[in-house]
Amino acid sequence: MKMDPGNFAIETFLFCQITVGMFGNSSILFYYIIFIFTEKHLMPKDLIIEHLNIANCLTIILRGFPQTMTYFGFKNFLDDMGCKLIVYISRITRGMSLYAMCLLSCFQAITISPRNSKWMKLKYRAAKYISPSCSVSWLVDLLLNILTPLRVSGPSYKKNATNRLTYGYCSLFASGSVTTTLYIILVCFSDALCLGLMACSSVSMVSILYKHKRHLKHIHSAQHFLKVSPEDRATQTILILLGTFVISYSFSSMVAIIRTCLKYPVVWESNIFTFLEIFFPLFCPFVLITNMKSSSSLVLPCLGKR
C-alpha cells in the first residue's frame, strides 16, 4: 500500500501522541492493578479515576489507531460491522469521560466542603454510591448512543449521499429525521447537564480553596502556611483536569459542528478533530503522575492518605 508523503508529519505526530498517551494511561492502570492484587482498599476517587483511565485508553485506541492506519494508506481495513462497532464504542468512551469528570468534580466538592456546610450530610453517603454510579454511567452511555451504529457505514459504501461525513476509515450519515433530531437534543441535554454540574462544582471548589488560603494567612507559623493538605492538592489536580477537559471537549464539539455544516470534506478539520479527541486522554494521566506524593511509592496525591 502506497503511503502519501504529504501525510508523513501528521502520521508521525499522531503516532507519538498515541504512544505517549497509552504509556501514561497504562502506568496509572498498572498502579491500580498492583493495588488491587495487594488487597488494599480503593478509595472512592480511585474508582472514578480507574474508570476514567479505562475510557481514556479506549478513546486513544479507537480514535487514534484507525486514523493512523488511514494516514498510512490503508483505507478499507474495516468492514461495515467493524466501523459500526468502533464508532459506537468511541462515542461511549467519550461520554464516559464526561460523566467520570462530572462525578469526580462533584464528589471532590462534597469531600472538601466545611463541616458546617449543608453538603456535610452527603459527605459520607456519597462514597457508598460511587461504584454504582460509575456502572450506571457506562449503561447510560450504552443507551444514549444506541442509534449511532445505524448512522455509520464502512468506507466502501457505494451509494451516493450528500449528507455523508467521511472519517477516512468510516462514514457517518447526518439524518434530518424527527427521531434523529430528538436523539441529538437528548444527547446535548445530557452533555449540558454534566458540564453545568462541573461548572458549579468547580466554582464551589475554588471558593473553598480561596477561603482556606485566607484562613492560613492568619496563622503566623510559616510551617503551617506552606503545608498543603492532600485534599487541597487533590482539588487543585481535579481543577486542572476539569479545565483541560472542558477546553478540549468544547473545541472538539465546535469542529464536529463545522464538519457537519461543510458540504465537502476538508483535510485539516479531520486532523484537528482527531487531535482534540485524544488530547485529554493523553494529558490526563501525566497530570496525575506529576502530582504523585513520591515517585518511588507511586501514590497519587488525589488518592489522599491511606
| Tens of pLDDT, residues 161-214 | 555 666 667 777 766 667 767 777 888 888 889 989 999 988 888 888 877 777
- Mean pLDDT, the chain, rounded, equals 76
| More confident call, 34 vs 258 | 34
Cα–Cα dist 230/43, whole Å: 13
Domains of the chain from N-terminus onward: 5-303 (1.20.1070.10)
DSSP 33: H
Can you give the C-alpha Rg of the chain in angstroms? 21
User: How far from the centroid of its chain's Cα atoms is residue 195's Cα?
Assistant: 12
- Please report the pLDDT score of residue 230 as a whole number: 67
Residue with cell 494516514: 71
pLDDT tens-digit series, residues 129-164: 888 889 899 999 999 888 888 878 776 555 555 556
φ, ψ of residue 119 to 5 degrees: the values are -85, 0
Closest CA to 20 of 251, 241, 299, 281: 281
State yes or no: pLDDT of 56 exceeds 60: yes
Residues 106 and 197 sit within 8 Å (Cβ to Cβ)? yes
Query: What spatial distance separates the first Cα and last Cα of the chain, rounded to whole Å?
Result: 53
